[in-house]
Structure formats: C-alpha cells, structure tokens
C-alpha cells in the first residue's frame, strides 16, 4: 500500500512538473553533500544567486512531508545569514528545481543553516486549487457584534488575533519570517502593535511606498520579490516573500504557509527591495510592494499559489480628518476583501485608521472626536456612523481609550460584523468616514439619580431627577416622568440610568439571545440601532416572565405559551427571559456620557374588587 501511495505521488509530481515546464529533482534523489544555487533579490529587482549545500533530508518533518536541510554560502548569505523575506527562494541542483528556501534555525545563528520545502509538496498546492472548496469564513462574528454594542478594548483585539493563528515549529526550525511592510506609518504607531503582528509570524518593517514610473511594470520570475497585500494606497501593509516558480499566469511562492487558511483571495503584487539589513538577531529585507498584479488563491503548509489573470476584490476606504491643528487631510486606500481573513483585516485597517487620525493630533493633547460617515453595502444599503468620543485620562495617547482609537474601534468592529457572518448577505462596497477633532474633553458623568417614590401601583407615574456633571464641573439636571404599565405584576422594578455602552454590556449579559441575529437583515438592524455614546439612557426593567423570539422581546405573553416554555429548554429562535423592559428612553446630550446608576421600585398588588352592588343607577365596585 505504501508503495502504491509513493508511486501515485511520483505520478502527480511528474505530471505537475511537466505542466509547469521545468525539470524537478524529487526528494528521493537528494543526497548529503550535493551543491546547488538559490535565487533571490537582495537589492532593487535584480535576482542574485547564492550557494547551497545539502546537509541531509529530514524525513516526515510534518506528516508525509519532508524538509531538506541545507547550508547557504555566498557573500550576502555569509554576512546576513538567512534573511526575512527569502521565503520561497528557489533552489536548483544540476539545473533541476529542488524546492523553496522556507525554514531557518532562529536568531543568533553563527552559520546560515536552513530548510527547503520540496517542490513536490509545493506542486500539490495547484492540485488543491483545481478542486477549490468554498472559502472558509472567519470565526468570531458574535464577538465583533458584541464589541459594536458594548465597545472594544485591547483584550478584545488580542482575542480576535489569537484565534486563527497557528504557526507550526519543531524544535528550533521555524518558518522564515516575512517582512510585514508598513508604508505611510510612523514608528510609534507600528511599535504599539508590533507584538500583534510578530505573533502571526511577521517581522514589522517601516518603508516608503511611493511608486516611480520605472517601477510600474514588474515581471515576476523565479527569485523575484513578491508581496501579499492587505492594504494598498496612501497607507499600505503587505507581507513580502519570494517567487519559487512561474508558468504563464500561475505562481508558486513563499514555501510555507502564511496562515494555512487553505482557499484565499488576497491581492498579489511585485515588490522592490530597498536594502537587505544584516542583523545578529534577524536580518531582514526592506521592501515595498508595487501595483497589484494578481491574486493569491491558496495558502497551504507548503506555500502559496497565485494567478496573475485574476484580479482581487478590494474595498475602497476614504477617511477625512479635520482639527484645529491641521487643515482637512484626506486618505485613500483599499483593503483586501477576503472571507478567510476577515477577522484579521479589520485589525490591519484599524492600525491604518489610527495612523491617519494620529497625523491630525498634537502629542499628549486631550481631545474629543466626532465620527461621521457610512459603510456602504453592495445592495445599496448603508450603515450610518454618528458618534462622539473623548479621551480618558487613565489611558495613554495612543492606547485603547484615546478618543480617536475608540472611534476607529467602532468603525472596524462594525466592518468585522458585516463581513463575518453565516448569512447570505451583501458585500461591503466602500467605506467613507470623517473624523473631526476639537481640543478638550467633552464628557458628562452621571452623578446622582432620585425618584419621587419607592412604592407604586400599576398604572401610576414615577418622576426621576438626574444630575450629570460635565468636564467643566457644571451640573445639569434632567427630569423625566414615566408610567408603570397597568398590567405589571407585583414585585420589584429596576431603574437603570446609564451610558449606552454600559447599558448594552449589561443587556448582552442578561439577555444575550436578544442580540443573536437570525438573518442578515436582523444583523443590520441590531448594528443600526446600537446605542449612541452621546445619549443618556433610562431603562426600566421588571422581574416578569417574557420571551425573545427571533431577537425581539415579547411582553404580556399568555400563560399557556409560558407553560410550554417551562417544559422544554429554551434556545433556537425562541428563548425565555426572567425580566422584561417596561420603558426605555434616550436623552440626547452634547457630551460623551459615562457612568451608570441603578434604583429599584416596589410594585404593589392591585386591589381586588368585590361583587358590584346594583343601586338602580350604575354598577359600583367596592375595593378591599
């Protein structure tokens, strides 16, 4: 049986290599001591050669997958070692393609020893593309939605980024890191989130992104630098590697996985190498992507497969910033639209939006930002954004809690929500947002709440007196009257006076099924009706049985229905809840509302009526 499998693999490899039009050397023919050459770009777009000597073959390094252990030679290899960005560099012995340089032995190595992914394994990637499955959607859809409702923080983003990422390593032999090139970014912005990107196997690098006329046409050949593009435009982020093989419009590259997500659809671009930077810790190529020329379609353990004839889907983003410190500044860029990467791409876009907003600031200044705009969908609908954010004194200028960071958290969590779902919904067509910043903190803290009575009867009114203190220490008094419904059962009623995020966070905990969408329209409704930061909310809740059906809260449910619910576990589109909302009001304010207060009321039992007495004129009820 083992012989049959080996013969089958040999047949597939031979057929694939003939289709690609180049001779290959199978792993079975590799012997220790063999020498050959590798190809890569160390500067500009000129492909250079380096020497390779086989040390041995590491059998079954991964299940049914071997790795060839080699030592590099040559001036640059001896000086810089195995360089970040060399992933995919083709290696030849006796004129035959052996595979792609893909592994290194980590940092501070005295000799340039690495591993080659055999071309036999890489050729199988195209076979997987021929039977391409459905692109897998990212997880975390509900997490994004709850962040839209209750707010996101750094812990949220760490959770999102850690979910899909798994970079395999054995002992000290690991995949060569790929330079993640940031163009148009400042060091402090990239540095703040560096650990997020390095955890994904990337090495963040700052570089320019300007394209000159002579750089416009890039011919991809074995050994050429190539980039996977996440964002492109005024702000760009791309991962750089090396082309292993080319046949017509088909390309093999990297020699190892980026994320091992299988079927993907990410933009492909040629790249220019500005310099190769030797380092005892980790040498790296300083690169910049050129224009998008095709699409990467497969991300597998053995490398990436792309097609130059297929153009990727990109979402145009327009951001305008305005502040007293700087005139209006506009940023235009495009973000990759790939369902497999949708939980990562919002974070990449978040980094770009934070950088754009950061350019309009004075360091250390406390500010308030007004976010407006829309996320436009391909069916013509839009999600409108109109929220106010202010800096929190307890947080750093660029950290979570800064006004513009919170604003961009809202944009990108809404984006993640409408991109990641299990429904048949429209695509995101474009994003258009504006951030207007003014100096100073505009907030109002809920300081105290009074009620005019602690016990009420059904149908009676209750008066609330609310005091909020703003950032200038001015106290504003708000009075509201609400009526207790006549059909409320005796018991206790809870009054919540709160900011939108605090109230939403509470409701997500106590009425989670209310925020589980049943279809895309329901999802859009939840997002569009999210509570605003600049509103003060008053909500009255009663301990009274109710139902949530398809995300809608139903009151006054007949006892017969509740009895049915009592005899079976809740779930699906219908679930039981222990309390229900009697009243809710949003009070518009001109400040960001913070804080929350809770009060309680006792509901008296309604009086019981006696049999009416007929006095000949009308019926009278005597209450006892």
pLDDT in tens, 289-310: 999 999 999 999 999 999 999 9
Look at residues 480, 366, 374, 504 and name the one whose alpha carbon lies nearest to residue 429. Answer: 374
| Token pair recorded at residue 63 | 């299940």
Mean pLDDT for 16-23 is: 75
Q: Is pLDDT larger for residue 544 or for residue 355?
A: 355
The least confident of 1-10, 90-99, 443-452, 606-615 is 1-10
Would you say residue 467 has pLDDT above 60? yes
Rounded-to-integer distance, Cα 404 and Cα 397, Å = 9
Q: What is the pLDDT of residues 218-251, one digit of tens each?
A: 689 999 999 999 999 999 999 999 999 999 999 9
96-104 and 89-93 strand pairing? antiparallel
Predicted confidence band of residue 165 (pLDDT cuts 50, 70, 90)? very low
**Beta-sheet pairing, 619-620 with 382-390:** unpaired
Which residues share a beta bridge with 54?
Answer: 70
> Which residue is it, tokens 């970014």?
185
First to last CA, the chain: 91
Range from 77-91, 107-121, 330-344, 545-559 carrying the lowest mean pLDDT:
545-559
Q: What number does CATH give the domain 2-130?
A: 2.40.10.10
Q: Where are the domains of the chain?
A: 2-130, 141-439, 444-603
What is the pLDDT averaged over residues 130-138?
Answer: 67
- The rounded distance, in Å, linking the Cα atoms of 337 and 144 is 17
More confident residue, 94 or 590: 94
Residue 394: predicted pLDDT: 46
Q: Could you tell me whether strands 236-247 and 225-233 are parallel, antiparallel, or unpaired per DSSP bridges?
A: antiparallel
Instruction: Compute the Cα dihedral for 6, 7, 8, 12 and give only its sign.
Output: positive
Query: What is the average per-residue pLDDT within 89-103?
Result: 97
pLDDT at 169 over 60: no
Tokens of residue 226, six digits: 């190539």
What are φ and ψ of residue 560, in 5° steps?
-60, -40
Cα separation, 367 vs 365, in Å, equals: 6
- Give me the pLDDT at residue 440, please: 85
Other beta carbons less than 10 A from residue 362's beta carbon: 13
The one-character DSSP state at 137 is P
* pLDDT over 50 at 147, yes or no: yes
Confidence of residue 402 (pLDDT cuts 50, 70, 90): confident
Q: Which residue has the higher pLDDT, 370 or 159?
A: 370
Backbone angles phi, psi at 563, to 5 degrees: -65, -40
Q: Which helix (H) or strand (E) holds 174?
A: strand 173-175
Average pLDDT over residues 428-442: 92
pLDDT, tens digit, 9 for 90 and up, residues 55-84:
999 998 888 889 999 999 999 999 999 999
Eight-state DSSP code of residue 522: H
Residue 593 has pLDDT above 50, yes or no: yes
- Say if residues 489 and 533 touch (Cβ distance below 8 Å): no
Helices (H), 102-185: 119-130, 141-150, 154-162
**Cα–Cα distance between 407 and 409 in angstroms, integer?**
5
| Three-class SS state of 452 | coil
Q: How far is CA 604 from CA 4, 210, 322, 579, in A?
A: 83, 73, 55, 17
613 burial level (CB within 10 Å; 0-12, 13-18, 19+): exposed
> How many whole angstroms separate alpha carbon 130 and alpha carbon 6?
21
pLDDT band at 362 (very low <50, low <70, confident <90, very high): low
| Amino acid 341: pLDDT | 85
* Residues ≥6 apart with Cβ < 8 Å to 100: 87, 88, 89, 90, 91, 116, 117, 119, 122, 242, 244, 252, 253, 254, 255, 303
Phi, psi of 72 (to 5 degrees): -90, 155
pLDDT at 619 over 50: no
What is the C-alpha separation between 107 and 283, in angstroms, rounded? 9
Write down the H helix ranges in 461-519: 500-510
Higher pLDDT, 66 or 216: 66
Which is more confident, 16 or 332? 332
And the tokens for 304? 């990436």
Name the token pair of 88: 């995919």
The yes-or-no verdict on residue 86 having pLDDT over 60 is yes
In the predicted model, is pLDDT for residue 18 greater than 80?
no
- 23 token code pair: 């001779």
Beta strand 173-175 pairing with 96-104: antiparallel
Q: With pLDDT > 90 as the criterion, what percentage of the chain qualifies?
A: 57
Q: Which of 312, 3, 12 is nearest to 135 (CA)?
A: 312
What angle, 0 to 180 degrees and rounded to 10, lies between the N-to-C axes of helices 141-150 and 403-419?
140
Q: Where are the beta strands (DSSP E) in 278-355?
A: 284-300, 303-307, 314-323, 326-336
Q: Which helix (H) or strand (E) holds 347?
A: helix 345-358
Which residue is associated with the tokens 């999210």? 530
CA-CA-CA-CA torsion for 195, 200, 201, 202, nearest 10 degrees?
Answer: -60
Looking at the chain, how many residues does it have? 624
Percent of the residues in the chain that have a pLDDT greater than 70, as a whole number = 81
Residue 2, pLDDT score: 46
pLDDT at 153: 83
Task: Kindly tell me if the per-residue pLDDT of 521 is higher than 90.
Answer: yes
Residues in Cβ contact with 357 at an 8 Å cutoff, skipping those fewer than 6 apart: 319, 321, 369, 404, 407, 408, 435, 437
For residues 129-134, average pLDDT? 76
DSSP strand pairing (428-439 vs 314-323): parallel
* Residue range 19-39: mean pLDDT, rounded: 93
- Among 381-390, 433-442, 474-483, 557-566, the least confident range: 557-566
């Amino acid at each position: 049986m083992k012989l049959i499998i080996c013969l089958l693999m040999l047949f597939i490899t031979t057929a694939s290599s003939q289709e690609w039009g180049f001779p290959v050397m199978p792993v079975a023919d590799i012997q220790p001591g063999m020498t050959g050459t590798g190809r890569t770009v160390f500067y500009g777009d000129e492909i250079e050669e380096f020497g390779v000597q086989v040390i041995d073959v590491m059998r079954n390094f991964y299940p049914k997958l071997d790795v060839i252990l080699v030592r590099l030679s040559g001036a640059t290899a001896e000086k810089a070692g195995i360089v970040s960005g060399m992933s995919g560099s083709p290696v030849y012995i006796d004129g035959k393609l052996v595979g792609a340089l893909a592994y290194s032995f980590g940092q501070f190595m005295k000799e340039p020893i690495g591993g080659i992914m055999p071309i036999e394994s890489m050729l199988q990637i195209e076979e997987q593309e021929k039977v391409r499955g459905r692109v897998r959607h990212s997880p975390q859809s509900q997490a994004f939605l709850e962040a839209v409702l209750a707010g996101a923080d750094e812990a949220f983003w760490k959770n999102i980024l850690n979910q899909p990422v798994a970079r395999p390593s054995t002992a000290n032999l690991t995949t060569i890191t790929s330079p993640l090139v940031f163009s148009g970014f400042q060091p402090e912005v990239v540095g703040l989130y560096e650990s997020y990107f390095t955890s994904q196997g990337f090495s963040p690098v700052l570089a320019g992104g300007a394209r000159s006329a002579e750089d416009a046409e890039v011919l991809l050949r074995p050994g050429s630098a190539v980039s996977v593009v996440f964002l492109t435009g005024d702000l760009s982020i791309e991962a750089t590697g090396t082309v292993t093989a080319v046949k017509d419009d088909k390309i093999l590259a990297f020699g190892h996985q980026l994320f091992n997500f299988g079927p993907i659809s990410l933009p492909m671009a040629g790249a220019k190498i500005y310099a190769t930077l030797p380092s005892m810790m980790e040498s790296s190529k300083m690169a910049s992507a050129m224009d998008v020329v095709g699409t990467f379609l497969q991300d597998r353990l053995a490398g990436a497969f792309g097609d130059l004839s297929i153009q990727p889907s990109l979402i145009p983003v327009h951001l305008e910033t305005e502040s007293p410190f700087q005139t209006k500044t506009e940023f235009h860029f495009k973000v990759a639209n790939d369902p497999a990467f949708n939980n990562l791409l919002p974070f990449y876009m978040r980094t770009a939006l934070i950088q754009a907003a950061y350019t309009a600031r004075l360091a250390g200044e406390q500010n308030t930002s007004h976010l407006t705009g829309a996320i436009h969908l391909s069916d013509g609908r839009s999600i409108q954004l109109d929220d106010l954010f202010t800096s929190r004194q307890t947080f750093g200028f660029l950290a979570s809690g800064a006004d513009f960071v919170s604003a961009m958290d809202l944009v990108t969590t809404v984006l993640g929500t409408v991109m990641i779902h299990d429904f048949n919904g429209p695509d995101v067509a474009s994003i258009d947002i504006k951030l207007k910043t003014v100096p100073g903190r505009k907030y109002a803290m809920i300081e105290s709440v009074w009620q005019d009575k602690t016990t009420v009867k059904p149908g009676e009114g209750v008066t609330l007196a609310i005091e909020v203190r703003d950032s200038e220490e001015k106290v504003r008094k708000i009075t509201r009257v609400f009526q207790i419904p006549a059909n409320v059962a005796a018991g206790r009623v809870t009054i919540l006076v709160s900011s939108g995020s605090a109230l939403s966070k509470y409701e997500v905990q106590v009425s989670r099924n209310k925020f589980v969408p049943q279809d895309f329209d329901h999802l859009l409704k939840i997002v569009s009706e999210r509570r605003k930061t600049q509103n003060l909310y008053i909500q009255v809740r009663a301990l009274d049985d109710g139902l949530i059906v398809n995300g809608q809260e139903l009151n006054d449910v007949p006892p017969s229905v509740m009895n049915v619910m009592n005899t079976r576990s809740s779930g699906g589109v219908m679930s039981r809840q222990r309390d229900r909302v009697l009243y809710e009001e949003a009070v518009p304010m001109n400040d960001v509302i913070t804080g929350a207060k809770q009060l309680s009321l006792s509901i008296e039992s309604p009086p019981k009526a006696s049999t009416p007495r007929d006095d000949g004129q009308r019926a009278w009820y005597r209450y006892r």
